[in-house]
Structure 1
Amino acid sequence: MENNRTGRSAIKDGGGQTSPKKHLRPFIKLIRDTKPPKWTLGIAVILSVCSTVAGLFVPLMTKSVVDSFTLSELNGWQMAVLGLFFGMQALASGVSIYLLGKAGQYVVAQIRDRLWKKLLLLKMPYYDENRTGETVSRMMNDTAVVKGLITEHVTGFFTGIISIIGAVIILFTLDWRMTLLMLLAVPLTALIMFPIGRMMLRISKSMQDETASFTSTLNQAVSEIRLVKAYRAEGIEYESGKQAIGRLFRLGVKEGRVQAFIGPLVGFVMMAVMVLLIGYGGMRVSSGALTAGDLVAFILYLMQIIMPINQISTFFTQMQKAVGATERIIETLEAPVEALEQGRKVENARLPIRAEHLSFGYKTDERVIKDISFTIEAGKMTAIVGPSGSGKTTLFALLERFYEPQEGQVRLGPDPIYELSLASWRKQIGYVSQESPLIAGTVKDNICYGLDKDVTDEELRMAAAMAYADGFISELPAGYDTEVGERGVKLSGGQRQRIAIARALLRNPQILLLDEATSSLDSKSEQAVQEALSVLMKGRTTIVIAHRLSTVVDADQILFMDHGSITGRGTHDELMRTHSLYREFAAQQLRIAEKV
């Protein structure tokens, strides 16, 4: 959040210093990269031109009708041609709007597709530094702003430009003096629009940031609603959301103030020009320099200029919003990603895992892991013990390659794991955590999650049986097709753990990372999960973050971590003799066991 606040203040303080071209280039590049359908856009533009050209002939036809208008001389073919032009204009305009809307939807779908793919491949530090709600806002709210510009305002912009150019050319042929008088509105409008446009860009950026922040607050409160209710934090969350809503309200009012200033001011300028034209035109009609039809045509053409100017001003306002949204989208698209297929495939995972002088910190000046070295033998169990904050979970994250160490190396046999294909390396790993996450879906969906092959019912049931999960699954209302609810809330902790173990068994990994999956369970659930884990660990290289003495006693090797360093290693008996902190850990576990 510090980064976001810094970004917002930078926008407010220096946003107006960047040239409009620099703001537009990323937006234009983003649209080009989506490869919009050229034929669709081409046909839409051609039809827009046809619609506008047809509309430009309407005032000329009206002029002819007015100059020769008497009931006796009413010309049927003139009325028919006038009706034909109206029909052509309506048809061409309707088809053009549809095609441009379709092209806009395609462009935004491509942007969302790129964003979604990117979000799945981004490195973990991105998610450490960006709140989930803000990331969701990039995907939904910011792309919606771009969609609104393309589908709702691009049509008006292009047709408006054509209409203005065509109307001005025809007006010069009718009366150049009155046309020059009318064009006085152009510099006046420009003087209004440019500074207001820069102001709208700054407001838009702030609005996008605040929307993302509010989405994040909302997402956090709703996703952890049980925690909110359990600790009676409704008031705190309400105040947090209320403040965000208040900031959005103030920005919305500021945006409305700018828009309220633009519309009436542009309208006032146009109305003043129209009054001048009617007054001056009336004088020229009375002197015989113009006909009544010419004056009517002039007024109609003026309307064909006034309305597009309003459309164009709205387009530029929305463009400023889209440019602000685009900058946030591009920030995400340019963030570094994981190269899943880069490197050699893992040929044999049944090799020792060696850490050599490994050091890592989430911030460069703060080390969480400090120059540790160890060897984990293939097919054996290593337990990692230590107080909270000693670096155990961070070590797991390094082994899974969520992060890269600042110093040192991890090897599988002779090969550095960072030279192996990331997808191939993670395929060898099965991870079961204390609170194994489940997705909203069925039991089957969760057991098969992440597999790139079809799973037979026999394979599914065998994995569930080995995880001691088949019994309770068969008692569920719809068996394997039972919905587990968001994050598995319809199941107990022990049931969730056994489904997670079944998931790991189905993957058949060679390396297991277990964040002591039984530490938060009751004794009955713990026994079932422990039996499932013993099946899962058989013949596999297993690394366990240990919280209970029962796990430690059975380990082939124990690593004791303290403040990011390994201060002891050996079997349970060896550490009981040589390591005072380990003896204290064991004694504490025994006291807990006696109380139970």
Structure 2
Amino acid sequence: MDDSRYTQQTDHRIKDKQENRPRGFEQPESKGSWKMFLKLLRRTKPSKSLIITAVAMSLAGTLISLVIPLFTKKLVDGFDISSLSFRQIASFGGVFILQAVVSGLSMYMLNLAGQRLVANLRDQLWRKLLKLPVSYYDNNRTGETISRMTNDTGVVKQLIAENFTGFLTGTISVVGSIVVLFYMDWQMTTVMLAVIPVAALFMVPLGRQMYLVSKGLQAETASFTSTLTQVLSEIRLVKSMNAEPREYEAGGKGIAGLFRFGRREAKIQALIAPLMFFVMMMLLVVIVGYGGMRVSSGALTAGELVAFILYLMQIVMPMSQISTFFTQFKKTIGATERIIHILDSPEENHDVGKPAEAADQAIRFEQLSFGYNDSEPVLKGLSFDVAPGTVSAIVGPSGGGKTTLFSLLERYYEPTEGTIKLGADDIEAFSLSSWRKQIGYVSQESPLIAGTIRENICYGIDHEVSQETLERAAEMAYAHLFISELPNGYETEVGERGIKLSGGQRQRIAIARALLRDPKILMLDEATSSLDSKSEVVVQEALKNLMAGRTTLVIAHRLSTVVDADQIVFVEKGRVTGKGTHEELLGSHEMYREFATQQLRLQEQDIAAAESH
């Protein structure tokens, strides 16, 4: 990536953060609802028996707690030290213990059900992310996708595993307490409940504001996560371009945005807590004042007043849990929208189609056209054949569509027009898994995973690989010698993206991986362009072993790679403008002749430089 392109991408990130919208993760505007949330829950297949048992136990625990104030009422009204017995005290203590045990078990079971549900959700989401096509990742930033998997599922988990428990028990407690209070004294209960609409006038708008702040905070968190992921994964590029100040500015905007939302959230919470306390104290004053009058008039006993106050606690205390649930529920709706957006995205189906067994046939590109999104087509009516067991070199100016051609052959994308055929069959007729097993791909970047050399060579192999087979593949890739010289041999850790190895070593491991895969079709994308001359010689020898007997397509800028090809296809602006051998194109294709002359001059300069040293 050159400096100008990198600068443009960074400027885009800064601009997107200023506008407070994540770039590349465009979501349809929709209003979330509980129906969407229930749809998501059904997809996770929760344990109904566990939830029903937990709810039943919560109901039982709450009913027991509703009995406690009645015990207290009876105790206060008939209080006499001489009348107290061990049996009464034991019964009172037993009720408390039973209520605590039942409530504890119900909370554990609801939490367990919630944790299982979210684990199933994350499993579905992870499976989906692996099945999404490359085009999805072209249009969505990786950091934001990671945020869906971690932050958004965490929001769902908190609602189900934590807030739902308090909401359920709190609702039962509130409803049960109100029913008992109406039974005890409907007049006093009506006076008490008259305070609630007054509180709602303040709480409902605050709840709405909390929802908006929470939704904005989630979006800002996703955007900030995306920036961190992109910058930290390319930290060497950042440092080599002296871009730390620029990235600090971009990250600073994200931190400021998170602080801005956090401050607004703190303001709302600072209003909610005192309001809740004010409502509680107002209710307590009303109950004590009005209740005292009722007691003095004989309409209410002292025990009933005490029971009223206890039931009031059982109404007010769960209110904070219920309000928290609704705030969290609104946050969860936003997270649900984004999760369902991923789960409903079109995915690759790896198993539909017939197996691609006879891959040693001619590959035909027939009138192939393709464009990313609605942009100018990258390929335009491209046609040529590749005979089985031959080497075809794809050459031409940068941006002509060579790498896109490889992506279509790997079926990362589907052509907008035309077909690619293996023999007489369209490659779309083969199952994706069996088709990709026939292809070995060695790119310029030589992607490696964090892990050992053994894990990287065996990556994607679905059976046990013996040490002898592993070493034979490494020897053919000219990698066994340098691997053997490492302290831990094949168990050496390569670091993130293979950073502990040189470019030539990474290339040879990638070639060993392709050899172990034993593909029928081989694709080499600038496989030696980033290597020094010494490493290139070794890698070229390894590639010869890899190419032997395989149908090979090579994207190359070096003449040494092209000259020996059975066929050279010259691609300009998405079209084939020349086909033939090196000698044929030298005589018939002016731009190829310029390309060959330039490469020959560079090759002579390299030889002269090597001799001078």
Q: Aligning the two structures, in what range does the TM-score lie when normalised by the shorter sequence?
A: over 0.9
Q: Does structure 2 retain, via aligned residues, the 8 Å contact 1:8–1:206?
A: no
Distance 1:185 1:592 in 2: 88
Q: How does 1:443-592 map to 2 (within 5 A)?
A: 443-592=453-602
Distance 1:498 1:522 in 2: 14
Distance 1:197 1:582 in 2: 69
Amino acid at match of 2:44: T
Distance 1:199 1:331 in 2: 25
Matched residue of 1:344: which SS?
coil
Question: What is the aligned counterpart of 1:38 among 45, 48, 51?
Answer: 48
1:435 and 2:445 matched: yes
State the Cα deviation string for residues 67-122 of structure 1 (Å, max 9, x = none): 12232333433222211111011111111111111111101100100000000000
State the Cα deviation string for residues 511-551 of structure 1 (Å, max 9, x = none): 00001211111111111110010011011000000110001
Distance 1:162 1:31 in 2: 22
Distance 2:375 2:533 in 1: 43
Q: Which residue of 2 aligns with 1:143?
A: 153
Q: Which residue of 2 aligns with 1:102?
A: 112
Q: Does structure 2 retain, via aligned residues, the 8 Å contact 1:382–1:556?
A: yes
Amino acid at match of 1:453: H
Q: Does structure 1 retain, via aligned residues, the 8 Å contact 2:371–2:378?
A: yes
Question: What is the aligned counterpart of 1:212 among 202, 210, 222?
Answer: 222
Matched residue of 2:332: which SS?
helix
State the Cα deviation string for residues 492-516 of structure 1 (Å, max 9, x = none): 1111000000000011000000012
1:180 and 2:190 matched: yes
Q: How does 1:112-123 map to 2 (within 5 A)?
A: 112-123=122-133
Amino acid at match of 2:597: A
Shift of 1:295: 0.6
Question: What is the aligned counterpart of 1:329 among 313, 317, 339?
Answer: 339
Q: Which residue of 2 aligns with 1:76?
A: 86
Q: Which residue of 1 aligns with 2:357?
A: 347
Shift of 1:170: 1.1
Q: How does 1:239-278 map to 2 (within 5 A)?
A: 239-278=249-288
Question: What is the aligned counterpart of 1:158 among 156, 165, 168?
Answer: 168
Q: Which moved more, 1:535-544 or 1:226-235?
A: 226-235
Q: Does structure 1 retain, via aligned residues, the 8 Å contact 2:20–2:220?
A: no
1:391 and 2:391 matched: no
Q: Which residue of 1 aligns with 2:9?
A: none
Distance 1:199 1:371 in 2: 55
Q: Which residue of 2 aligns with 1:319?
A: 329
Matched residue of 2:579: which SS?
strand
Q: Does structure 1 retain, via aligned residues, the 8 Å contact 2:22–2:223?
A: no
Distance 1:394 1:227 in 2: 25
Q: How does 1:47-58 map to 2 (within 5 A)?
A: 47-58=57-68
Q: CA RMSD in A?
A: 1.9
Q: Which moved more, 1:113-122 or 1:49-58?
A: 49-58
Q: TM-score, normalised by structure 2?
A: 0.93
Shift of 1:34: 1.0
State the Cα deviation string for residues 407-452 of structure 1 (Å, max 9, x = none): 1111111111112111111110000001110001111100000011
Distance 2:217 2:539 in 1: 49
1:233 and 2:243 matched: yes
Matched residue of 2:81: which SS?
coil
Shift of 1:191: 4.0
Matched residue of 2:82: which SS?
coil
Q: Does structure 1 retain, via aligned residues, the 8 Å contact 2:381–2:575?
A: yes
Shift of 1:384: 0.6
Q: Does structure 1 retain, via aligned residues, the 8 Å contact 2:449–2:456?
A: yes
Number of matched residues? 589
Amino acid at match of 2:340: I
Q: Which residue of 1 aligns with 2:318?
A: 308
Matched residue of 1:149: which SS?
helix
Amino acid at match of 1:141: N
Amino acid at match of 1:584: E
Q: Which runs of 5+ in 1 are unaligned?
A: none
Matched residue of 1:72: which SS?
helix
Distance 2:382 2:563 in 1: 23
Shift of 1:194: 4.1
State the Cα deviation string for residues 217-238 of structure 1 (Å, max 9, x = none): 1111111111112222111111
Shift of 1:373: 0.7
Matched residue of 2:421: which SS?
strand
Amino acid at match of 1:282: G
Question: Could you list the runs of 4 or more consecutive aligned residues of structure 1 that deviate by over 6 angstroms after TM superposition?
Answer: 1-9
Shift of 1:464: 0.6
State the Cα deviation string for residues 294-320 of structure 1 (Å, max 9, x = none): 111100000000011111001101111
